[in-house]
């Protein structure tokens, strides 16, 4: 998995996903949410054509490391694999798993 903030590959540290560049830990809960999103990404891919003209999003894809595309505020999707960050995930990433170089 890749860090959604900086696309650094996430390492496991004390059983939690960890981004060295951002001194950022991702909770077990967040890991689970990422895994579920990766599982459902194949279904999302069907809708991706609509995203073609969208602007670049705020995050990188946790699944493949590509830059996410912004569908609407706090809702982003990866064009390459269909990984989706919805509003709830967006909020959780920013609020619960801060990253030192993110603003």
Interactions with Zn ion, residue window 43-62 (CB under 5 A): 61
Comparing C-alpha atoms, which of 46, 58, 10 is closest to residue 30? 10
- From the CB of 75, what's the least distance to Zn ion, in Å? 15
Total residues binding Zn ion (CB under 5 A): 15
Give every strand in the sheet of 56-60, ordered side by side: 56-60, 67-72, 75-77, 84-85
In 3D space, the residue among 45, 24, 37 whose CA is nearest the CA of residue 90 turns out to be: 37
Kindly state whether residue 78 participates in binding Zn ion, applying the rule CB under 5 A: yes
34 part of the interface to Zn ion, by CB under 5 A? no
What tokens appear for 97 in the block? 């798993």
User: Which residue stretch of 13-21, 25-33, 44-52, 84-92 sits at the interface with Zn ion (rule: CB under 5 A)?
Assistant: 13-21
Binding site for Zn ion (CB under 5 A): 3, 5-6, 8, 19, 21-22, 61, 63-64, 66, 78, 80-81, 83
């Amino acid at each position: 998995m890749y860090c959604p903030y900086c696309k650094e590959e996430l390492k496991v540290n004390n059983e939690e996903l960890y981004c060295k560049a951002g001194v950022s830990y991702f909770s077990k809960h967040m890991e689970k949410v990422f895994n579920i999103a990766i599982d459902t990404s194949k279904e999302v891919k069907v809708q991706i054509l609509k995203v073609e003209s969208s602007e670049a999003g705020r995050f990188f894809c946790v699944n493949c490391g590509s830059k996410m595309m912004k569908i609407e505020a706090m809702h982003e999707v990866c064009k390459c694999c269909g990984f989706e960050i919805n509003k709830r995930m967006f909020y959780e990433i920013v609020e619960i798993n801060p990253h030192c170089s993110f603003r």
